[in-house]
Amino acid sequence: MILSPSFLVRSQKGIEQLMRLWAMISIVLAAVSAALVRERPPSPSSTFEREEELKFGQALSAAFSRRSLRILIMEFATSWAVLMTVFIKIDEISEFLGFVDSNGILAVTMLMFGMVSAVIIPALSDRFRKRKVFYTFCALTAVPGSFLLLSGNITIALIGAAILGSGLLASIPIGSQYATELGHGINEKVIQSILQFFSQLATIVILFVTTIIKERYQMVLPAILAAILLGTLIATFFIKESEVIVTEDERLKALIDLENVQH
C-alpha cells in the first residue's frame, strides 16, 4: 500500500509491471515457506484423541452440530467480512475523509497496529490459556473502532483505524485456533475450510449490499459495519470456553488422576 503508488509514480510504468513485480516476490516467499515449514510436529501429543476419519460431508455436519462452533463460524466470517470491506473500500473512505490522493495512511495504520496486536493478543491467550475472553475483547474493540474510523475527522479516523485493525486482525489467529479447539475430534482441515468459505461468502454479501446503496454510501456504510460488529460482539457471549487449551503437564495430571480414581 505504500510501495505500489510510489512505484507507479516514480517508475512511470503501468499496472502490469507492478503486478508482475509483486507476483515474483510472492513466488519467492511461497517457495521459501514451502521449503521451511514442517509437515508434522516432531513430537505430537500422545494424549490427544485422534481426529475422526470422516468424509467431508460428515465432518461438515458434525461441525455445525456443535452450537458454540456454529456460532463462532458465523461470528468469525462476519468479522472477516467487515475487515475485508474496509480494506476494499479504503480509497473511498480516504476520499470521504479528505486524505490527499488516497495515500493509504488509513490502511497502513490498520495493518501496523493489527500486526502488533495479532502477535501480542494470541500470545496472551496462550499464556493465560483463555480463548473466549480475548476473542470477546477483540470483538469489543472493533465496535468503537468502526465508529471512529468513519467519523469524518481525519485525526479521529486514524485512531479508529488503529483500534479497528488491532481488534479484527488479532481475532483471526485467535478465532482460527478457537474454532479448531471447539471442533476437537473433527479434522482441522475441514474446520479451517469452513471458516474460509463462510468468510469469503460474507464478504461478497456485504460488498453487494454496499454496491446497491452506493449513492447513500457515506451515510449507510458506517451503520451497516457497526451493526454487524455489534452483532458479532453479542454472539461471542454465547460461545463456550475451549476445553482443550491446557498444557501437556495438565493433560498428564488429568490422566493420572483418572487412573487413580479408577483404581
Query: What percent of the chain is modeled with pLDDT above 90?
Result: 41
If pLDDT is split at 50, 70 and 90, which confidence band does 45 have?
low
If pLDDT is split at 50, 70 and 90, which confidence band does 246 have?
low
Q: Residue ranges of the domains in the chain? A: 1-35, 54-247
pLDDT of residue 198: 94
Higher-confidence residue of 255 and 157: namely 157
Between CA 66 and CA 61 the distance in angstroms is: 9
pLDDT at 74 over 70: yes
pLDDT of residue 165: 93
Cα angle for residues 66, 68, 72 (degrees, 5° grid): 115
If pLDDT is split at 50, 70 and 90, which confidence band does 175 have?
very high
Task: Tell me whether residue 96 is exposed, middle or buried, using C-beta atoms within 10 angstroms of its C-beta: 0 to 12, 13 to 18, 19 or more.
Answer: middle
Please state, as a whole number, how many other Cβ atoms lie within 10 Å of the Cβ of residue 106. Answer: 27
pLDDT of residue 2: 73
pLDDT at 101 over 70: no
pLDDT at 119 over 80: yes
The verdict on domain 54-247 having CATH code 1.10.10.10 is no
Instruction: Please state, in angstroms and as integers, the Cα–Cα distance from residue 14 to each residue in 19, 21, 46, 88, 191, following that order.
Output: 9, 11, 55, 21, 40
Between CA 209 and CA 112 the distance in angstroms is: 29
Sign of CA dihedral 149, 120, 31, 194: negative
Instruction: Please state, in angstroms and as integers, the Cα–Cα distance from residue 11 to each residue in 3, 7, 26, following that order.
Output: 11, 6, 21
Average pLDDT of the residues of the chain: 83
pLDDT at 219 over 60: no
pLDDT of residue 75: 92
